[in-house]
């Protein structure tokens, strides 16, 4: 079976359901909207000396991703789990019985789309915020800034893929969303918040992967990390790989 045929089929699937457009539109609107709101109301006089020294205008553009990523989680989950909730999975697998083709095709198409939306979101957010920050703003040509902004787009794509893997393991929208949203929104932040759990917390996918978005090392009083931006990203890649393999194992083993 031609893999390109599967890609084409999955592209048709993804572009013909409403959930794709509203989740991805939310990723963009929430991220860009909150970044704009935050920088438009930003008052540099409220910063103390230390904060001023580590002020990271790039991170200011990208911090709203914390919220925007929730919609990306939903996107990643729904791409996979609606196959199960609608019963389409049986029709899909009867047409493409090779599980690796089916899953890889779906993940490739959805991840590519998430990457496109992710990059669009991070660049739009960056340029809009920097314009609003005025004198405090920074150019894309400054050291490490391009890496951080591109990295934010990569982060969103990887996050979507991670969620697809988890959804393939759990096979239910409700189960996957109710595990992933609290995990990314609360658990990840909570664990790095406490000294005792920080080392563990720093290795969670969003904390490790998010390091790529920082330009100034200790911006916003963030703690020291045992890895650099790409090292952190690599950790998130490993998490994602594990989720994808887990999802594939479940798809292979369990009855459709």
Partner 1 sequence: MIELEGLTKRFGTTTAVDHLSFRIRPGVVTGFLGPNGAGKSTTMRMMLDLDNPTSGTVRVYGKHYRDLSEPLKHVGALLDAKAMHGGRSAYNNLLCLAQSNRIPRQRVDEVLDLVGLTAVAKKKSKGFSLGMSQRLGIASALLGDPEILMFDEPVNGLDPEGILWIRNLMKGLAAEGRTIFVSSHLMSEMALTADHLVVIGQGKLLADLPMADFIQQNSRSYVRLRSPQQERLKDLLHEAGINVVSVPATGTLEIDGVSAEQLGELAARHQIVLHELSPQRASLEEAFMRMTADSVEYHAHAPGMAADNPARPADVPAWGAAHTATRKAGE
Where do contacts with partner 1 occur on this chain (CB under 8 A)?
1-2, 5-6, 8-10, 12-13, 16-19, 82-83, 86-98, 253, 255-256
Measure the CA–CA gap between 173 and 182, rounded to whole angstroms: 14
CB of 17 to partner 1, least distance (A): 5
DSSP assignment, residue 87?
S
Specify the residue, 86 or 197, whose C-beta has the smaller distance to partner 1: 86
CB of 92 to partner 1, least distance (A): 8
| Crossing angle between the packed helical segments 65-86 and 18-40, to the nearest 10 degrees | 170
Residues 6+ apart with CB under 8 A from 84: 171, 172
Residue 50: both structure tokens together: 């230390």
Measure the CA–CA gap between 36 and 83, rounded to whole angstroms: 36
Contact 173, 77 (CB under 8 A): yes
Computed over its alpha carbons, how large is the radius of gyration of the chain?
19
Specify the residue, 17 or 200, whose C-beta has the smaller distance to partner 1: 17
Q: Residue 201's Cα: distance from chain center in Å?
A: 17
CB of 104 to partner 1, least distance (A): 13
Please report, to the nearest 10 degrees, the dihedral formed by the alpha carbons of residues 17, 180, 104, 148 taken in order: 100
Specify the residue, 12 or 199, whose C-beta has the smaller distance to partner 1: 12
CB of 94 to partner 1, least distance (A): 5
Specify the residue, 95 or 238, whose C-beta has the smaller distance to partner 1: 95
Nearest to 117 by CA among 214, 21, 10: 21
Residues 6+ apart with CB under 8 A from 3: 101, 104, 105
Specify the residue, 43 or 255, whose C-beta has the smaller distance to partner 1: 255
Specify the residue, 5 or 174, whose C-beta has the smaller distance to partner 1: 5
CB of 156 to partner 1, least distance (A): 24
CB of 24 to partner 1, least distance (A): 15
């Amino acid at each position: 079976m031609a893999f390109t045929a599967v890609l084409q089929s999955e592209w048709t699937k993804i572009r013909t359901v409403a959930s794709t457009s509203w989740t991805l539109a939310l990723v963009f609107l929430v991220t860009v909207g909150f970044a704009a709101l935050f920088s438009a109301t930003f008052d540099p006089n409220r910063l103390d000396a230390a904060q001023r020294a580590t002020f990271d205008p790039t991170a200011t553009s990208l911090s709203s991703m914390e919220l925007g990523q929730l919609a990306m989680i939903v996107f990643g989950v729904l791409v996979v789990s609606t196959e199960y909730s609608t019963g389409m999975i049986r029709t899909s697998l009867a047409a493409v019985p090779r599980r690796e083709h089916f899953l890889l095709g779906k993940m490739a198409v959805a991840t590519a789309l998430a990457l496109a939306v992710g990059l669009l979101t991070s660049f739009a957010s960056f340029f809009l915020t920097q314009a609003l920050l005025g004198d405090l703003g920074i150019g894309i040509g400054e050291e490490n800034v391009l890496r951080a902004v591109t990295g934010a787009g990569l982060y969103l794509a990887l996050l979507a893929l991670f969620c697809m893997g988890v959804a393939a393991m759990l096979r239910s929208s409700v189960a996957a969303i109710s595990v992933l949203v609290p995990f990314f929104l609360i658990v990840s932040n909570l664990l790095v918040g406490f000294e005792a759990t920080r080392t563990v917390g720093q290795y969670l996918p969003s904390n490790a992967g998010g390091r790529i978005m920082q330009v100034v090392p200790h911006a916003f009083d963030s703690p020291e990390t045992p890895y650099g931006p790409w090292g952190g990203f690599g950790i998130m890649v490993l998490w994602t790989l594990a989720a994808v393999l887990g999802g594939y194992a479940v798809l292979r083993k369990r009855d459709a």
